[in-house]
Protein backbone atom coordinates (compact mmCIF):
# COMPACT_ATOMS: atom_id res chain seq x y z
CA UNK A 1 0.00 0.00 0.00
CA UNK A 2 1.39 3.39 -1.03
CA UNK A 3 0.80 6.11 1.53
CA UNK A 4 1.44 9.82 1.69
CA UNK A 5 1.49 10.29 5.43
CA UNK A 6 -1.88 8.77 6.45
CA UNK A 7 -3.41 9.00 2.94
CA UNK A 8 -3.80 5.53 1.45
CA UNK A 9 -3.51 5.45 -2.35
CA UNK A 10 -3.57 1.75 -3.23
CA UNK A 11 -0.84 -0.53 -4.51
CA UNK A 12 0.20 1.47 -7.58
CA UNK A 13 -1.62 4.80 -7.66
CA UNK A 14 -2.29 6.79 -10.80
CA UNK A 15 -2.06 10.52 -10.21
CA UNK A 16 -3.59 13.27 -12.33
CA UNK A 17 -0.95 15.93 -12.95
CA UNK A 18 -1.69 19.56 -12.16
CA UNK A 19 -2.09 21.33 -15.51
CA UNK A 20 -2.78 25.03 -15.89
CA UNK A 21 -6.06 25.78 -17.68
CA UNK A 22 -6.85 22.06 -17.74
CA UNK A 23 -7.11 20.37 -14.34
CA UNK A 24 -9.94 22.45 -12.92
CA UNK A 25 -12.86 20.85 -11.01
CA UNK A 26 -14.91 19.92 -14.13
CA UNK A 27 -11.94 18.11 -15.68
CA UNK A 28 -11.02 16.51 -12.38
CA UNK A 29 -14.57 15.21 -12.06
CA UNK A 30 -14.37 13.03 -15.17
CA UNK A 31 -10.84 11.87 -14.35
CA UNK A 32 -11.98 10.82 -10.90
CA UNK A 33 -14.95 8.96 -12.37
CA UNK A 34 -12.59 7.01 -14.61
CA UNK A 35 -10.01 5.96 -12.08
CA UNK A 36 -7.63 8.74 -11.01
CA UNK A 37 -6.42 7.88 -7.50
CA UNK A 38 -4.98 11.26 -6.53
CA UNK A 39 -5.47 14.67 -8.10
CA UNK A 40 -4.14 18.20 -7.80
CA UNK A 41 -5.52 21.63 -8.49
CA UNK A 42 -4.13 23.81 -11.21
CA UNK A 43 -1.02 25.48 -9.82
CA UNK A 44 -1.92 28.49 -7.71
CA UNK A 45 0.13 31.67 -7.47
CA UNK A 46 1.29 32.42 -3.94
CA UNK A 47 1.28 36.14 -4.69
CA UNK A 48 -2.23 35.87 -6.10
CA UNK A 49 -3.48 34.21 -2.93
CA UNK A 50 -1.89 36.81 -0.71
CA UNK A 51 -3.43 39.62 -2.78
CA UNK A 52 -6.76 37.78 -2.66
CA UNK A 53 -6.91 37.71 -6.46
CA UNK A 54 -10.21 36.20 -7.58
CA UNK A 55 -8.62 33.84 -10.12
CA UNK A 56 -6.21 32.41 -7.56
CA UNK A 57 -8.87 32.06 -4.88
CA UNK A 58 -11.18 30.27 -7.33
CA UNK A 59 -8.52 27.61 -7.87
CA UNK A 60 -8.85 26.62 -4.22
CA UNK A 61 -12.34 25.21 -4.89
CA UNK A 62 -12.29 21.50 -4.08
CA UNK A 63 -15.12 19.03 -3.54
CA UNK A 64 -15.54 15.97 -1.36
CA UNK A 65 -15.81 13.54 -4.28
CA UNK A 66 -12.34 14.58 -5.44
CA UNK A 67 -10.48 13.32 -2.38
CA UNK A 68 -7.67 12.76 -1.93
CA UNK A 69 -6.64 16.03 -3.53
CA UNK A 70 -3.73 18.41 -3.16
CA UNK A 71 -3.50 22.14 -3.74
CA UNK A 72 -0.37 23.00 -5.70
CA UNK A 73 1.39 26.30 -5.05
CA UNK A 74 4.12 28.16 -6.90
CA UNK A 75 6.09 31.29 -6.13
CA UNK A 76 9.55 32.77 -5.72
CA UNK A 77 9.37 34.41 -2.31
CA UNK A 78 9.75 32.22 0.78
CA UNK A 79 7.55 34.32 3.05
CA UNK A 80 4.82 34.55 0.42
CA UNK A 81 4.87 30.81 -0.16
CA UNK A 82 4.58 30.12 3.57
CA UNK A 83 1.63 32.52 3.88
CA UNK A 84 0.00 31.06 0.76
CA UNK A 85 0.28 27.56 2.23
CA UNK A 86 -1.53 28.76 5.34
CA UNK A 87 -4.29 30.26 3.18
CA UNK A 88 -4.55 27.12 1.04
CA UNK A 89 -4.84 24.93 4.11
CA UNK A 90 -8.07 26.73 5.01
CA UNK A 91 -9.64 25.17 1.89
CA UNK A 92 -9.17 21.74 3.57
CA UNK A 93 -7.19 19.86 0.94
CA UNK A 94 -5.55 16.56 1.83
CA UNK A 95 -2.07 17.90 1.17
CA UNK A 96 -0.06 20.87 -0.05
CA UNK A 97 2.11 20.36 -3.14
CA UNK A 98 4.91 22.70 -4.20
CA UNK A 99 5.59 23.32 -7.87
CA UNK A 100 9.30 23.24 -8.62
CA UNK A 101 8.79 21.94 -12.14
CA UNK A 102 6.79 24.38 -14.27
CA UNK A 103 9.05 25.37 -17.18
CA UNK A 104 6.99 28.16 -18.81
CA UNK A 105 8.59 31.58 -19.08
CA UNK A 106 6.05 33.56 -17.09
CA UNK A 107 6.69 31.26 -14.11
CA UNK A 108 10.33 30.19 -14.38
CA UNK A 109 11.63 33.59 -15.45
CA UNK A 110 10.09 35.10 -12.33
CA UNK A 111 12.12 32.80 -10.13
CA UNK A 112 9.33 30.28 -9.47
CA UNK A 113 8.56 26.75 -10.65
CA UNK A 114 11.55 25.07 -12.28
CA UNK A 115 13.69 28.16 -11.66
CA UNK A 116 14.29 26.93 -8.11
CA UNK A 117 16.30 24.06 -9.60
CA UNK A 118 19.02 26.70 -10.10
CA UNK A 119 19.05 27.54 -6.40
CA UNK A 120 18.80 24.36 -4.35
CA UNK A 121 19.53 26.05 -1.00
CA UNK A 122 16.59 28.41 -1.57
CA UNK A 123 14.38 25.50 -2.65
CA UNK A 124 15.26 23.64 0.53
CA UNK A 125 14.70 26.72 2.70
CA UNK A 126 11.34 27.45 1.07
CA UNK A 127 10.19 23.87 1.46
CA UNK A 128 11.27 23.77 5.10
CA UNK A 129 9.22 26.86 5.87
CA UNK A 130 6.12 25.41 4.25
CA UNK A 131 6.55 22.09 6.05
CA UNK A 132 6.83 23.92 9.38
CA UNK A 133 3.81 26.14 8.63
CA UNK A 134 1.45 23.37 7.49
CA UNK A 135 -0.35 20.73 9.51
CA UNK A 136 -0.93 18.83 6.26
CA UNK A 137 1.50 16.59 4.38
CA UNK A 138 3.69 18.57 2.00
CA UNK A 139 4.78 17.08 -1.32
CA UNK A 140 6.83 18.35 -4.26
CA UNK A 141 6.70 18.07 -8.04
CA UNK A 142 9.88 18.89 -9.93
CA UNK A 143 12.11 17.96 -12.87
CA UNK A 144 15.49 16.29 -13.36
CA UNK A 145 17.28 19.62 -13.25
CA UNK A 146 17.49 22.98 -15.00
CA UNK A 147 19.48 21.66 -17.97
CA UNK A 148 21.68 18.72 -18.92
CA UNK A 149 24.63 20.12 -16.97
CA UNK A 150 22.60 20.37 -13.75
CA UNK A 151 20.60 17.15 -13.53
CA UNK A 152 20.61 17.31 -9.75
CA UNK A 153 17.42 15.46 -8.87
CA UNK A 154 19.21 12.86 -6.72
CA UNK A 155 20.57 15.56 -4.42
CA UNK A 156 17.24 17.40 -4.49
CA UNK A 157 15.30 14.29 -3.49
CA UNK A 158 17.50 13.56 -0.48
CA UNK A 159 17.55 17.12 0.77
CA UNK A 160 13.80 17.63 0.42
CA UNK A 161 13.06 14.34 2.13
CA UNK A 162 15.38 15.29 4.97
CA UNK A 163 13.42 18.47 5.71
CA UNK A 164 10.07 16.71 5.75
CA UNK A 165 8.30 16.30 2.43
CA UNK A 166 6.06 13.23 2.28
CA UNK A 167 6.27 12.35 -1.45
CA UNK A 168 8.07 13.47 -4.60
CA UNK A 169 6.82 13.51 -8.19
CA UNK A 170 9.53 13.77 -10.85
CA UNK A 171 9.03 14.75 -14.48
CA UNK A 172 11.69 13.05 -16.58
CA UNK A 173 12.86 16.15 -18.41
CA UNK A 174 14.96 19.18 -17.57
CA UNK A 175 13.54 22.68 -17.66
CA UNK A 176 15.50 23.46 -20.83
CA UNK A 177 13.77 20.57 -22.60
CA UNK A 178 10.32 21.98 -21.81
CA UNK A 179 8.11 19.19 -23.21
CA UNK A 180 10.34 18.25 -26.13
CA UNK A 181 12.13 14.98 -26.73
CA UNK A 182 11.55 11.86 -24.70
CA UNK A 183 11.29 11.78 -20.92
CA UNK A 184 14.32 10.13 -19.32
CA UNK A 185 13.24 7.90 -16.47
CA UNK A 186 16.74 6.65 -15.64
CA UNK A 187 17.34 9.23 -12.92
CA UNK A 188 13.80 8.76 -11.60
CA UNK A 189 14.68 5.11 -11.12
CA UNK A 190 17.93 6.03 -9.37
CA UNK A 191 16.06 8.24 -6.94
CA UNK A 192 13.51 5.54 -6.21
CA UNK A 193 16.18 2.89 -5.69
CA UNK A 194 18.38 5.07 -3.51
CA UNK A 195 18.44 3.25 -0.13
CA UNK A 196 18.22 6.60 1.65
CA UNK A 197 14.86 7.41 0.07
CA UNK A 198 11.88 6.39 2.20
CA UNK A 199 9.08 8.51 0.72
CA UNK A 200 6.95 7.54 -2.31
CA UNK A 201 8.45 8.47 -5.67
CA UNK A 202 6.05 9.06 -8.56
CA UNK A 203 7.24 9.20 -12.15
CA UNK A 204 5.86 11.61 -14.73
CA UNK A 205 6.49 12.11 -18.43
CA UNK A 206 5.24 10.33 -21.57
CA UNK A 207 2.96 7.86 -19.76
CA UNK A 208 0.37 7.61 -22.51
CA UNK A 209 -0.56 3.92 -22.58
CA UNK A 210 -1.11 0.82 -20.45
CA UNK A 211 2.16 -0.66 -21.65
CA UNK A 212 4.18 2.45 -20.82
CA UNK A 213 2.80 2.61 -17.28
CA UNK A 214 3.63 -1.05 -16.68
CA UNK A 215 7.11 -0.59 -18.15
CA UNK A 216 7.81 2.31 -15.81
CA UNK A 217 6.61 0.28 -12.85
CA UNK A 218 8.65 -2.80 -13.70
CA UNK A 219 11.81 -1.16 -15.02
CA UNK A 220 12.22 1.72 -12.59
CA UNK A 221 10.27 0.58 -9.53
CA UNK A 222 8.34 3.82 -9.04
CA UNK A 223 5.52 3.81 -6.50
CA UNK A 224 3.03 5.18 -9.03
CA UNK A 225 2.81 7.31 -12.15
CA UNK A 226 1.51 10.80 -12.75
CA UNK A 227 -0.40 11.32 -15.98
CA UNK A 228 -0.84 14.69 -17.60
CA UNK A 229 -1.32 15.36 -21.29
CA UNK A 230 -2.47 11.82 -22.10
CA UNK A 231 -5.55 12.33 -19.93
CA UNK A 232 -6.76 15.41 -21.78
CA UNK A 233 -9.86 14.32 -23.68
CA UNK A 234 -9.19 10.73 -22.58
CA UNK A 235 -9.94 10.18 -18.87
CA UNK A 236 -10.43 6.49 -19.63
CA UNK A 237 -6.66 6.08 -19.50
CA UNK A 238 -6.69 5.61 -15.73
CA UNK A 239 -9.10 2.67 -15.70
CA UNK A 240 -7.48 1.20 -18.82
CA UNK A 241 -4.08 1.14 -17.10
CA UNK A 242 -5.53 -0.40 -13.95
CA UNK A 243 -7.36 -3.10 -15.91
CA UNK A 244 -4.26 -3.93 -17.96
CA UNK A 245 -2.05 -4.18 -14.87
CA UNK A 246 -4.54 -6.45 -13.16
CA UNK A 247 -5.45 -8.73 -16.07
CA UNK A 248 -2.94 -8.15 -18.87
CA UNK A 249 -5.89 -7.41 -21.14
CA UNK A 250 -7.01 -4.26 -22.91
CA UNK A 251 -10.39 -2.73 -22.23
CA UNK A 252 -12.47 -2.00 -25.33
CA UNK A 253 -11.89 1.48 -26.69
CA UNK A 254 -14.66 3.96 -25.84
CA UNK A 255 -17.14 4.46 -28.65
CA UNK A 256 -18.74 7.70 -29.73
CA UNK A 257 -21.58 7.30 -27.24
CA UNK A 258 -19.02 7.03 -24.43
CA UNK A 259 -17.13 10.05 -25.62
CA UNK A 260 -20.26 12.15 -25.96
CA UNK A 261 -21.40 11.09 -22.50
CA UNK A 262 -18.12 12.08 -20.83
CA UNK A 263 -17.84 15.28 -22.85
CA UNK A 264 -21.37 16.24 -21.80
CA UNK A 265 -20.63 15.46 -18.15
CA UNK A 266 -17.54 17.68 -18.40
CA UNK A 267 -19.56 20.45 -20.06
CA UNK A 268 -22.35 20.35 -17.49
CA UNK A 269 -19.83 20.47 -14.66
CA UNK A 270 -18.13 23.40 -16.36
CA UNK A 271 -21.42 25.31 -16.49
CA UNK A 272 -22.19 24.50 -12.87
CA UNK A 273 -18.81 25.76 -11.67
CA UNK A 274 -18.16 28.65 -14.07
CA UNK A 275 -21.64 29.77 -15.08
CA UNK A 276 -23.53 29.55 -18.40
CA UNK A 277 -21.28 31.90 -20.38
CA UNK A 278 -17.74 31.16 -19.19
CA UNK A 279 -18.62 27.50 -18.73
CA UNK A 280 -19.39 27.18 -22.45
CA UNK A 281 -16.43 29.27 -23.58
CA UNK A 282 -13.76 27.53 -21.52
CA UNK A 283 -15.01 24.09 -22.53
CA UNK A 284 -14.12 24.83 -26.15
CA UNK A 285 -10.47 23.88 -25.68
CA UNK A 286 -11.49 20.28 -24.93
CA UNK A 287 -13.66 19.23 -27.88
CA UNK A 288 -10.91 18.34 -30.34
CA UNK A 289 -9.36 16.06 -27.74
CA UNK A 290 -12.60 14.25 -26.90
CA UNK A 291 -13.28 13.57 -30.56
CA UNK A 292 -9.77 13.05 -31.82
CA UNK A 293 -9.58 10.90 -34.92
CA UNK A 294 -13.20 11.19 -36.03
CA UNK A 295 -13.35 11.63 -39.82
CA UNK A 296 -14.75 14.85 -41.25
CA UNK A 297 -15.04 16.42 -37.80
CA UNK A 298 -14.00 19.95 -38.79
CA UNK A 299 -17.57 21.14 -39.37
CA UNK A 300 -18.70 19.91 -35.97
CA UNK A 301 -15.67 21.39 -34.27
CA UNK A 302 -16.42 24.77 -35.79
CA UNK A 303 -19.90 24.63 -34.33
CA UNK A 304 -18.75 23.44 -30.92
CA UNK A 305 -16.22 26.26 -30.55
CA UNK A 306 -18.55 29.01 -31.70
CA UNK A 307 -22.04 28.20 -30.39
CA UNK A 308 -22.79 30.31 -27.30
CA UNK A 309 -25.28 28.23 -25.30
CA UNK A 310 -25.39 24.84 -23.65
CA UNK A 311 -28.56 23.92 -25.52
CA UNK A 312 -26.97 24.53 -28.91
CA UNK A 313 -23.77 22.67 -28.02
CA UNK A 314 -25.79 19.79 -26.59
CA UNK A 315 -27.74 19.50 -29.84
CA UNK A 316 -24.47 19.21 -31.79
CA UNK A 317 -23.26 16.51 -29.40
CA UNK A 318 -26.50 14.60 -30.05
CA UNK A 319 -25.88 14.87 -33.79
CA UNK A 320 -22.28 13.64 -33.43
CA UNK A 321 -23.45 10.65 -31.43
CA UNK A 322 -26.08 9.80 -34.02
CA UNK A 323 -23.89 10.25 -37.10
CA UNK A 324 -20.76 8.49 -35.83
CA UNK A 325 -22.23 5.68 -33.76
CA UNK A 326 -19.84 2.74 -33.32
CA UNK A 327 -16.61 4.56 -34.14
CA UNK A 328 -14.04 3.90 -31.37
CA UNK A 329 -11.60 6.36 -29.89
CA UNK A 330 -8.57 7.47 -31.92
CA UNK A 331 -9.76 5.78 -35.09
CA UNK A 332 -7.64 6.27 -38.20
CA UNK A 333 -10.56 6.05 -40.64
* Topology (CATH level 3) of domain 256-323: 1.10.1200
Enumerate the active-site residues. 102
- Tell me how far apart the 2 most distant CA atoms of the chain are, in Å: 59
Cβ atoms of 306 and 280 closer than 8 Å: no
CA distance 81 to 71: 13
Tell me the CATH number for domain 3-247: 3.20.20.70
Delimit the CATH 3.20.20.70 region(s) of the chain. Answer: 3-247
Q: What pLDDT tens digit does each residue of the chain (333 aa) get? A: 999 999 999 999 999 999 998 999 999 999 999 999 999 999 999 999 999 888 899 999 999 999 999 999 999 999 999 999 999 999 999 999 999 988 777 787 678 888 899 999 999 999 999 999 999 999 999 999 988 888 999 999 999 999 999 999 999 998 888 888 888 999 999 999 999 999 999 999 999 998 999 999 999 999 999 999 999 999 999 999 999 999 999 999 999 999 999 999 999 999 999 999 999 999 999 999 999 888 888 899 999 999 999 999 999 999 999 888 766 655 433
Amino acid sequence: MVRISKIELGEFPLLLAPMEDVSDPPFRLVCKQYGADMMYTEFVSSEGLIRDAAKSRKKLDIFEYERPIGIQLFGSDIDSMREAAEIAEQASPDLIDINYGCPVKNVACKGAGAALLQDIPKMVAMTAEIVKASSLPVTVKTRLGWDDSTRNIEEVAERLQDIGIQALSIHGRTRSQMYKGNADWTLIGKVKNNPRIRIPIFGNGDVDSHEKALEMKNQFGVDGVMIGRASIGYPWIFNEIKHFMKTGEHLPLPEISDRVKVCRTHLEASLKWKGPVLGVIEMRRHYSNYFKGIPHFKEYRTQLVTLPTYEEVSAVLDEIESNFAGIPAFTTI
